[in-house]
């Protein structure tokens, strides 16, 4: 329960960081996946596939993600996947992508498991520019937070290879709104 409160507190802080902007009339800015509902377990195939780590039991197939109803004035998106319970006290940044054009409304299954011209690759904790799935040890599940931020920046505004913290800092004053989705995972 404490963890859920921490995640919600982080979401509130992100919303405050994003400012108070109205969504387009057709609805609320949302991020979703047909592969899992918010708070539900990710599929084993979505887990990482580093064979040198016994906790990486998957195929590193990124889940399908889609979004709708971006805030007015959105020019690009940033999308990050973060595990707050991984490697305490700092957590694990699994994926950092930005410069996603406003015309893009999602990614197909497996599409971001490799580099793509639909996003600028940042740098995860593993020094990767693409999606890398969970390698969670046995025990309590970790919470993998996918955060989508709508920005007023042109897609080419930020350089390649930025970390999660660098992207968040660069988006200060440029975020139009944010939405998120949480998937859980632990080694089966």
Report mean pLDDT in 10-residue bins for the chain, 188 residues.
42 41 65 98 97 96 98 98 95 98 98 96 96 96 98 98 98 98 96
Q: Whole-angstrom Cα distance, residue 139 to residue 151?
A: 37
Query: Which pLDDT belongs to residue 46?
Result: 98
Distance CA 11, CA 94 (A): 18
Find residue 182's DSSP bridge partners. 145
Q: How many residues in total does the chain contain? A: 188
Q: State whether the Cα torsion 46-32-77-106 is positive or negative.
A: positive
Q: Find how far residue 50's CA is from the centre of its chain.
A: 20
pLDDT at position 125, please?
95
CA 59 distance to own-chain centroid:
18
Alpha carbon distance 1, 156 (integer Å): 40
Q: Give kind and range of the element (H or E) at residue 30.
A: strand 30-32
pLDDT score of 26: 62
What pLDDT does 51 receive? 94
pLDDT value at residue 12? 36
């Amino acid at each position: 329960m404490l963890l859920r409160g921490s995640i919600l507190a982080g979401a509130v802080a992100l919303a405050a960081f994003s400012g108070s902007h109205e969504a387009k009339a057709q609805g609320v800015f949302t991020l979703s996946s047909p592969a899992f509902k918010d708070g539900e377990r990710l599929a084993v195939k979505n887990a990482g596939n580093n064979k040198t780590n016994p906790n990486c039991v998957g195929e590193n197939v990124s889940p399908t993600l889609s979004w709708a109803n971006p805030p007015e004035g959105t020019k690009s998106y940033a999308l990050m996947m973060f595990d707050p319970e991984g490697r305490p006290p700092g957590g694990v940044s699994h994926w950092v992508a930005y410069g996603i054009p406003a015309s893009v409304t999602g990614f197909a299954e497996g599409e971001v498991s490799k580099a793509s011209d639909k996003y600028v690759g940042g740098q995860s904790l593993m020094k990767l520019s693409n999606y890398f799935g969970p390698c969670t040890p046995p025990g309590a599940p970790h919470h993998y937070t996918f955060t989508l931020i709508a920005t007023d920046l042109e897609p080419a505004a930020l350089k390649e290879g930025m970390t999660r913290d660098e992207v968040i800092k660069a988006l200060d004053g440029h975020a139009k709104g944010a939405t998120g989705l949480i998937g859980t995972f632990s080694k089966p």
